[in-house]
Amino acid sequence: MGSIGGARAMTVQELAGAIGKPDVPVQYVVREHNDQQLEAAVTAPIPVIDFSRLFEQDGGEAVKLRSGLDSWGLILVSNHGVDAAVMHGMRAVSREFFRQPLEEKQRYTNLIDVEQFQFEGYGNDHVRSPDQILDWTDRIYLKVEPEDERSIALWPAHPETFRDALHEFTTKCGGVKDGLLRAMAKLLELDDDDYFVDQLGDRASTHARCSYYPECPRPELVFGLKPHCDGTVVTVLMVDDTVGGLQVLRDGVWWDVPVVPHTLLVIIGDQTQIMSNGIFKSPVHRVLTNAKKERISVALDYSVDPEREIEPSAQLVNEERPALYRKVKVKDYTAALYDHFSKGEMVINKIHT
């Protein structure tokens, strides 16, 4: 919903609802759509990790975790301790938020004075150039942690339970994130199981992203979300419980990520790729659009304190495996990532040693 030079651009939701469903505007059309393998993807056999058994002595779930991360860079997690009611509540308030009239949603706009972009709020990507390809999605993006940095004025007051639902969902998902990061440090045989958790720092940032992908009249021409890697430590994602669309790239082939009820999807982000010296890799993924059904997802982006620097763990660097990445300040990395994303590029390659 960004704009360049003046009038407010329409939201994707407005475009989808336009009478007669015209063709999608040209800014949304992906140019090289021929090689995108938009049909006939096979469902990826992504392992489902039983979180409640992750630390059992037999190590069975940890082995599965390792294999899932090595093969896909993402895993599904069951028995994660986030109650069905909490997940349902979060999905419901996201859905209700987007169902409201535009004027209500605009109260939380991410555009100041129509043009100036801020990351938090309701809207879409920062439009940096007139030839940027836009994604078929509207979203609300909010900083949730550190708690004293919440911009509560941008947290929807309607539906009335939105704020509580988001607070509760984030609090519960934090336990899943910490448990997985500990299991991952164990898999790498780091001296300290809390290595990744400690790297996050006391001022680690967590952002929530509720994305709404309306039906799209031309799904073969448009991405819900263009291919990208997450710039996080990990992303905890609650996908739509009925509508698929998320795909992951492996060896040049796109695979459908399955919808498995009651699970959470955990995606490795670039910050973990850097800290693990490339042992855990952040997967390239994208979202396809759909002509018949709208889709909702809620993502929690877990990131190291933006003021801190990250680099490969000294324990994972040796003569055979020199440091693959140089030290970077997290906020500089994130800024570069957004810049590259708008051009459809990945940033991790730019900090190779």
Ligand X SMILES: O=C(O)CCC(=O)C(=O)O
Residues that bind ligand X (CB under 6 A): 209, 211, 225, 230, 235, 237, 239, 246, 285, 287, 297, 299
* Residues 217-236 contacting Fe ion, CB under 5 A: 230
- The interface partner of residue 296, options being ligand X, Fe ion, none and the CB cut-off 5 to 8 Å by kind, is none
Q: Does 270 bind Fe ion (CB under 5 A)?
A: no
Kindly tell me which of 216 and 316 has the beta carbon lying closer to ligand X: 216
- The interface partner of residue 143, options being ligand X, Fe ion, none and the CB cut-off 5 to 8 Å by kind, is none
Tell me the HSE value of 200 on the side-chain side, using a 13 A CA sphere: 21
Contact between 27 and 133 under an 8 Å Cβ cutoff? The reply is yes
Q: Minimum CB separation from ligand X for residue 225, in Å?
A: 5
Nearest Cα residue to 287 out of 206, 347, 214: 214
- CA distance linking residue 236 with residue 152, whole number of Å: 22
Bridge partners (DSSP) of residue 300 are 208, 236
- The interface partner of residue 313, options being ligand X, Fe ion, none and the CB cut-off 5 to 8 Å by kind, is none
Q: Minimum CB separation from ligand X for residue 156, in Å?
A: 18
Q: Minimum CB separation from ligand X for residue 192, in Å?
A: 29
Kindly tell me which of 61 and 138 has the beta carbon lying closer to ligand X: 138
From the number of C-beta atoms within 10 Å of its C-beta (0-12, 13-18, 19+), residue 349 rates as exposed
Residue 147 per-residue DSSP state: G
Q: Minimum CB separation from ligand X for residue 299, in Å?
A: 4
Q: Minimum CB separation from ligand X for residue 73, in Å?
A: 12
- The interface partner of residue 239, options being ligand X, Fe ion, none and the CB cut-off 5 to 8 Å by kind, is ligand X
Beta strand 253-256 with 42-43 is parallel
Kindly tell me which of 135 and 230 has the beta carbon lying closer to Fe ion: 230
- CA distance linking residue 240 with residue 82, whole number of Å: 16
Q: Minimum CB separation from ligand X for residue 53, in Å?
A: 26
Residue type, 116: Q
- CA distance linking residue 51 with residue 76, whole number of Å: 10
Q: Minimum CB separation from Fe ion for residue 232, in Å?
A: 8
- The interface partner of residue 246, options being Fe ion, ligand X, none and the CB cut-off 5 to 8 Å by kind, is ligand X
**CB neighbourhood size of 134 (10 A):** 24
Kindly tell me which of 8 and 262 has the beta carbon lying closer to ligand X: 262
Contacting residues for 189 by C-beta, under 8 A, at least 6 apart: none
Kindly tell me which of 195 and 207 has the beta carbon lying closer to Fe ion: 207
Contact between 316 and 199 under an 8 Å Cβ cutoff? The reply is no
Kindly tell me which of 317 and 336 has the beta carbon lying closer to Fe ion: 336
Kindly tell me which of 177 and 285 has the beta carbon lying closer to ligand X: 285
Q: 40-71 b/e with 16+ CB inside 10 Å = b? A: ebeebebbbbebeebeeeeeebbebbbebbee
| Nearest residue (beta carbon) to Fe ion | 230
Helix (H, G, I), strand (E, B) or coil at 30: coil
Residues at the contact surface with Fe ion, assessed by CB under 5 A? 230
